[in-house]
């Protein structure tokens, strides 16, 4: 099934800054949450005033904004939800993401014309469940991450009517089925299904035999221990050309808890891939573009269920930590002509003599997407020459000789 409509690139927006970077670097739409009812309770999230501003900002860019209502609520969690749904309708969000049938029916009752995307938390893995939600009035299904490429293709071919299909292509994987997990709730009292997961699947575990209390047996012979439920991160970048041919409508990036650096880097790579694949049906993703995705903080990558049922290779048994090869060093505060001193906000310390790379939000004539240079001279806001940028979020100036766009990002390779 060939898709003629350009697929959407959907990016996470944990706060307003990340939203701006997602849109600047090529996202067609963003998803975010208010202070309640979503599944990332510990992200910055948006209060009502800021969310209304975010909707205006996004629509002025001619992009879309979706709001998550995808917690699995108990009865007391519905308090205030009806008023919040009315508020979302009033500020004209483009759709809400819902996992629970009770929440779905409440949205339908209060705002009959509101578009509803059914979250991956609803565990949709077959065409019949897609039809079920379509018949209830859903406009989009976010498929479970436990599907193979062939199964995604089958769902796309058998979807009813104008139902849109969205699938995750990048980011953290949950060890439980489509993110539904009780482990955090029972071990820590923090309910992952209500937005407050403590990520116990990333912890180190040992075995203890019941008749030998206090005597622990390592699951693997390794001085660092083992992490038996620690999934690698999803990366389907190389599969995008095929997924476009299948007819997937929206490619979703995970990461509302991640940095603006993460959002900008991942969005820019997937933007390039989607555009190149649309221009050339036989396009193959260059390895150099995949390498860009290793420059953000990440766990080792896997294609998860796409080609086959994952084996032990999809887990990180030796460590729960991220691989981090580059440091997020700064943000360019205004367009720079290429003459004089570029104004930067510090996000990580750099020193004179360091080599930095610059990622830009737009690729225009005379403005290549990636630049690199050695830092030769730095100045504070008063114009005094300095040797480093030690203070968090300090504003400083850096001599540079190439045009750079506002919202460009500086990164530094870690030794």
Q: How confident is the model at residue 371 (pLDDT cuts 50, 70, 90)?
A: confident
Mean pLDDT for all residues in the chain: 86
- First-residue to last-residue Cα distance in the chain: 47
Convert the pLDDT of each residue in 250-303 to its tens digit. Answer: 999 998 888 899 999 999 999 999 999 999 989 999 999 999 898 887 677 888
Cβ 159 vs Cβ 129: under 8 Å: no
Query: Is the model's pLDDT at 364 over the cut of 60?
Result: no
Q: How far apart are CA 125 and CA 40, in angstroms?
A: 23
Closest CA to 398 of 348, 346, 362: 346
Q: How confident is the model at residue 358 (pLDDT cuts 50, 70, 90)?
A: very high
Query: What are the residues whose beta carbons fall under 8 Å from the beta carbon of 82, sequence distance 6 or more?
Result: 106, 110
Higher-confidence residue of 366 and 380: namely: 380
Tokens 């002509």 sit on residue: 337
Average pLDDT of the residues in 44-50: 87
In order, the DSSP letters of 80-133 are: THHHHHHHHHHTT-SEEEE-SHHHHHHHHHH-TT--EEEPGGG---SHHHHHHH
In order, the DSSP letters of 330-351 are: EEE-S-B-SSSEEEEEESS--B
Q: Sign (positive/negative) of CA torsion 195, 299, 294, 250?
A: negative
The DSSP secondary-structure symbol of 315 reads: B
Delineate the domains of the chain, giving CATH numbers in brackets: 8-176+232-311 (3.20.20.70), 326-413 (2.40.30.10)
Q: How confident is the model at residue 3 (pLDDT cuts 50, 70, 90)?
A: very low
Convert the pLDDT of each residue in 166-224 to its tens digit. Answer: 999 998 877 666 666 666 665 677 766 666 777 766 667 666 666 767 766 555 545 55
Convert the pLDDT of each residue in 88-140 to its tens digit. Answer: 999 999 999 999 999 999 999 999 999 999 999 898 999 999 999 999 999 99
Cβ 399 vs Cβ 377: under 8 Å: yes
265-290 burial: b if 16+ Cβ within 10 Å, else e: bbbbbbbbbbebbeeeeebebeeebe
7: tokens are 């697929």
| The pLDDT value given to residue 39 | 57
Convert the pLDDT of each residue in 301-354 to its tens digit. Answer: 888 889 876 544 544 544 445 566 888 999 999 999 999 999 999 999 999 999
Residue 70 phi, psi dihedral angles, 5° rounding: -100, 20
Q: How far apart are CA 177 and CA 189, in angstroms?
A: 20
β-pair type (326-332, 409-413): antiparallel
Tokens 């004179």 sit on residue: 352
Q: How far apart are CA 407 and CA 344, in angstroms?
A: 9
């Amino acid at each position: 099934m060939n898709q003629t409509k350009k697929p959407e690139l959907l990016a996470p927006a944990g706060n307003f800054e990340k939203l701006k970077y997602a849109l600047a670097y090529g996202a067609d739409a963003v998803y975010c949450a208010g202070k309640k009812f979503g599944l990332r309770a510990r992200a910055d999230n948006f209060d009502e005033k800021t969310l209304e501003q975010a909707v205006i900002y996004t629509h002025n860019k001619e992009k879309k904004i979706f709001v998550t209502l995808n917690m699995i609520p108990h009865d007391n969690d519905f308090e205030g939800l009806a008023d919040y749904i009315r508020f979302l309708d009033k500020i004209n969000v483009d759709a809400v993401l819902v996992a629970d049938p009770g929440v779905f029916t409440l949205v339908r009752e209060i705002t009959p014309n509101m578009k509803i995307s059914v979250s991956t938390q609803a565990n949709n893995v077959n065409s019949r469940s897609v039809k079920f939600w379509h018949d209830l009035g859903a406009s989009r299904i976010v498929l479970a991450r436990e599907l193979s490429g062939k199964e995604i293709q089958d769902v796309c071919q058998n979807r009813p009517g104008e139902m849109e299909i969205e699938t995750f292509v990048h980011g953290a994987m949950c060890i439980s089925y489509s993110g539904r997990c009780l482990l955090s709730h029972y071990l820590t009292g923090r309910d992952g299904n209500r937005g407050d997961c403590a990520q116990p699947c990333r912890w180190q575990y040992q075995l203890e035999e019941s008749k030998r209390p206090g005597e622990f047996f390592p699951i693997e012979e390794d001085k660092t221990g083992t992490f038996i439920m620690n999934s690698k991160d999803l990366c389907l970048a190389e599969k995008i050309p095929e997924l476009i041919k299948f007819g997937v409508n929206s490619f979703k990036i995970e990461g509302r808890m991640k940095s603006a650096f993460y959002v900008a880097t991942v969005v820019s790579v997937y933007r390039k891939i989607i555009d190149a694949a649309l221009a050339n049906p036989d396009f193959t993703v260059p390895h150099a573009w995949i390498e860009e995705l290793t420059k953000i903080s990440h766990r080792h990558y896997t294609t998860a269920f796409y080609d086959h049922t994952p084996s032990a290779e999809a887990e990180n048994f030796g460590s729960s930590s991220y691989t981090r090869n580059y440091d997020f060093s700064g943000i360019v505060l205004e367009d720079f002509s290429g003459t004089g001193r570029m104004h930067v906000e510090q996000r990580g310390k750099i020193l004179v003599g360091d080599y930095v790379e610059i990622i830009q939000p737009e690729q225009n004539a005379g403005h290549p997407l990636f630049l690199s240079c050695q830092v030769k001279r730095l100045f504070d806001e008063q114009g005094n020459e300095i040797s480093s940028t030690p203070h968090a979020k300090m504003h400083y100036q850096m001599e540079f000789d190439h045009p750079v766009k506002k919202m460009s990002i500086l990164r530094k390779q870690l030794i």
